[in-house]
């Protein structure tokens, strides 16, 4: 028991007194559960390693940051970022609707803040994202009468946007998600407005414009569910087409919006090998593991929504120890694959910092309590964190 208490103190960073026992009994009980979850899976909880240090010989460790964190309103989250991440991606503020909400009217304040945050700390900053079908205002695709624009006009808008944005952050944003989610699940091209107005070469054109705006920036294609074969083949085709046209592309981001039971480690491994086989860098760009029940097959199709029902929100306070263990094992399985292929992977970025502020609390069902990341709602490392750390240590 004394050992258990000291481990709890180590985990929570709070001394346990009689007073705190009564005041925060729930928190302490929860930590005891966490501790037993750690023991259950044989991981060394209480290890306060920094992720970026632990994986410094493997790949960068990144996180998606929201504006609240960047502007100083969530200092505990910012402290986690400083300690654990050497790369950052803005979660929303570099999307078209934020940067150019109206024709020619650019609003850079929030994007500037995130770039300044990263530059100050010497972090690798990823720009997300230049061309996407979502979070792009409808004016982009319409003329002054609300009719669809022609190809020439849309190409000009694309070029203006890309050269203004990439040009502004030249030398500071070192890699860009140039095109995001251009594919359907069967590997065919998504019939987005980009595709319908410009045609399939909108992808190559966007990459060419980005390269022109900053010849030293790395350029990526980013998508989810590439672990599923049909979609992966679509992405391979798309990349090969760029390579055949001698258009610069440096890497592919497989987003990594995973479930406890999908995709299998073998699927993850095949995906990494397939893109690396084309001579590209591979990145896991939006990693999280959804632990809640779902009735949507896979992926991160943002347009899909389900109504809230209590049975879809089974862990509204905390994750029970058996689920905590399952999540830890899942993360360990994934990181074992990443570490094995560290020569092909340049970065693993989590989509968020801690559970309290994950997009998965609101997708595909609004208002749930999800637990997909390595840090809990009180900013404490979860058993999954310790499991991830162990994967680096076990192999070396």
Q: What positions carry a catalytic annotation?
A: 181, 286
Q: Which two tokens stand for residue 40?
A: 């259950």
Tokens of 227: 């672990």
Helix/strand/coil for 358: coil
| Residue number with CB closer to ligand 9MR (286 or 326) | 286
Q: Which of 126, 300, 373, 392 binds ligand 9MR (CB under 6 A)?
A: 300
Q: Binding residue for ligand 9MR (CB under 6 A) from 74, 227, 286, 326?
A: 286
**Of residues 114 and 392, the one with the C-beta less far from ligand 9MR:** 114
- Map residues 138-177 to x or -, x wherever contact with ligand 9MR holds by CB under 6 A: ----------------------------------------
Which listed residue (134, 168, 233, 323) binds ligand 9MR by CB under 6 A? 134
What is the C-alpha to C-alpha distance for residues 118 and 88, in angstroms, rounded to an integer? 7
Q: What angle, 0 to 180 degrees and rounded to 10, lies between the N-to-C axes of helices 151-168 and 202-213? A: 30
String of contacts with ligand 9MR for each residue 337-376, x by CB under 6 A:
----------------------x-----------------
Q: Output b/e per residue, 149-185; b: 16+ Cβ within 10 A.
A: beeeebbebbbebbeebbebbeeebbbbbbbbbbbeb
Percent helix, strand, coil in the chain (nearest 5)? 45, 15, 40
Size of the site for ligand 9MR (CB under 6 A): 10
Query: How far apart are the C-alpha atoms of 377 and 360, rounded to whole Å?
Result: 13
Binding of ligand 9MR by 250 (CB under 6 A) = no
Q: Which of residues 305-344 bind ligand 9MR (CB under 6 A)?
A: none
Residues 6+ positions from 88 with CB-CB distance below 8 Å:
62, 63, 64, 65, 81, 114, 117, 118, 123, 124, 125, 126
Q: Contact with ligand 9MR (CB under 6 A): which of 9, 36, 135, 270?
A: 135
Contact assessment for residue 182 and residue 238, using Cβ atoms and an 8 Å cutoff: yes
Is residue 179 part of the contact set for ligand 9MR (CB under 6 A)?
A: no
Minimum CB separation from ligand 9MR for residue 296, in Å? 12
Residue from 7, 67, 74, 91 binding ligand 9MR (CB under 6 A): 91
**Angle made by CA atoms 33, 25, 288, in degrees to the nearest 5:** 45
Q: Is 302 in the site for ligand 9MR (CB under 6 A)?
A: yes
Q: Considering the rule CB under 6 A, would residue 298 count as an interface residue with ligand 9MR?
A: no
Q: Which is nearer to ligand 9MR, 302 or 312 (CB)?
A: 302
Verify binding: residue 195, ligand 9MR, rule CB under 6 A.
no
Q: CA–CA separation, 367 vs 308, rounded Å? A: 8
Site residues, ligand 9MR (CB under 6 A)? 91-92, 134-135, 180, 255, 286, 300, 302, 359
């Amino acid at each position: 028991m004394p050992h258990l208490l000291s481990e709890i103190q180590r985990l929570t960073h709070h001394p346990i007194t009689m007073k705190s026992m009564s005041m925060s009994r729930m928190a302490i009980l929860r930590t005891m559960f966490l501790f037993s979850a750690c023991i259950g899976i044989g991981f060394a909880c209480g290890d306060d390693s920094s992720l970026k240090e632990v994986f410094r010989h493997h790949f960068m460790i990144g996180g998606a940051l929201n504006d609240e964190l960047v502007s100083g309103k969530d200092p505990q989250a910012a402290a986690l970022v400083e300690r654990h991440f050497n790369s950052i991606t803005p979660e929303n503020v570099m999307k078209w609707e934020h940067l150019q909400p109206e024709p020619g009217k650019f609003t850079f304040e929030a994007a500037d803040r995130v770039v300044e945050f990263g530059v100050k700390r010497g972090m690798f900053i990823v720009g997300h994202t230049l061309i996407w079908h979502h979070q792009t205002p409808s004016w982009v695709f319409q003329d002054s009468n609300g009719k669809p624009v022609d190809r020439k006009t849309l190409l000009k808008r694309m070029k203006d946007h890309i050269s203004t944005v990439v040009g502004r952050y030249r030398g500071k944003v070192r890699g860009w998600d140039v095109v995001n989610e251009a594919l359907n699940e069967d590997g065919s091209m998504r019939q987005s407005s980009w595709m319908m107005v410009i045609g399939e070469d909108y992808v190559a054109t966007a990459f060419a414009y980005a390269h022109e705006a900053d010849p030293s920036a790395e350029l990526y294609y980013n998508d989810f569910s590439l672990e599923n074969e049909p979609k992966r083949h679509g992405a391979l085709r798309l990349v090969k087409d760029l390579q055949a046209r001698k258009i610069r592309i440096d890497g592919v981001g497989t987003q990594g919006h995973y479930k406890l039971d999908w995709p299998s480690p073998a699927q993850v491994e095949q995906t990494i090998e397939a893109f690396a086989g084309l001579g590209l860098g591979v990145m896991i760009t939006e990693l999280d593991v959804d632990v809640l029940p779902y009735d949507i097959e896979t992926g991160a199709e943002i347009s899909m929504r389900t109504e809230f029902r209590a049975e879809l929100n089974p862990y509204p306070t905390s994750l029970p120890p058996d689920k905590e263990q399952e999540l830890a094992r899942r993360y360990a399985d994934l990181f074992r694959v990443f570490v094995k292929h560290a020569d092909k992977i340049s970065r693993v970025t989590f989509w968020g910092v801690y559970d309290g502020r994950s997009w998965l609390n609101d997708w595909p069902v609004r208002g749930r309590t999800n637990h997909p990341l390595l840090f809990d709602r009180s900013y404490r490392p979860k058993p999954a964190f310790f499991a991830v750390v162990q994967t680096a240590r076990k192999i070396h």
